[in-house]
Amino acid sequence: MYRLMVAALVFAAVVTAGAGSAKAASSVVVGGIGYIAGSPGDHINLRGGPGTAYDVNVQLGAGQAVEVYDGPRTDSNGNLWYKVRNENGGGWVRGDYLSGSGSSSKSNTTSSSTRSPQQASDTGSAAKIKIGGAVKVTDDNLRIRSAASKSGTVLATVDGGTVLKVVDGPVTDKAGNSWYQVSGKYTVGWVSADYVAPSSATP
């Protein structure tokens, strides 16, 4: 009888823990705004794909606001990953380091009241990219391609900070990467969504 009671308690604890994890994951909404979680001063890796085997695209500081635009994807270890971006860059971040409400279940996460002025200003920059609007290039030597794929011919490269007009998109390639068609001074082509961010500037 005692063993049965212990087993029942263990099962209940596992179910409760699982329910808590599911709730935390559901707070992140694709198409919504999220926040990078961590201690003040932490920098979290954003990767080229949903897993630690992928290269790091950029690091974002704890508390920064991001647009969540893809996911969740599950890696081989069962971890959830979301694709995010802001004016500093984009990529895949593990769900443990992303909050959909501006706060995290982790007690050491930067709260909205303690964000630096730079982090607070990032909130406004995480607006969605819109056709007819503008984007700013967040990485040097960004390739503009003839098609929405890494196999597309490189038509031109542009420097970080360049403002481009959005013509079409987003389009998702076979690898799950998002692309936008943009127009620049001399070229119209496709760029990876990981390396552009919404901009209020006039292209």
pLDDT, residue 92, reads: 92
Give the number of other Cβ atoms within 10 Å of residue 86's Cβ.
24
pLDDT, residue 189, reads: 93
Specify burial of residue 126 (Cβ count, 10 A radius: 0-12, 13-18, 19+). buried
Question: Domains in the chain, please, with CATH?
Answer: 32-100 (2.30.30.40), 133-199 (2.30.30.40)
In this predicted model, what pLDDT tens digit does every residue of 97-121 receive, in sequence order? 998 754 333 333 333 333 333 333 3
Q: Of 24, 23, 103, whose CA–CA distance to 63 is shortest?
A: 103
> Which residues, including other chains, have CB under 8 Å from residue 158's CB and lie 6 or more apart?
137, 141, 142, 144, 164, 184
Q: Strand pairing of 134-137 and 163-172?
A: antiparallel
The whole-model pTM stands at 0.48
Residues of the chain with pLDDT under 70: 1-26, 101-127
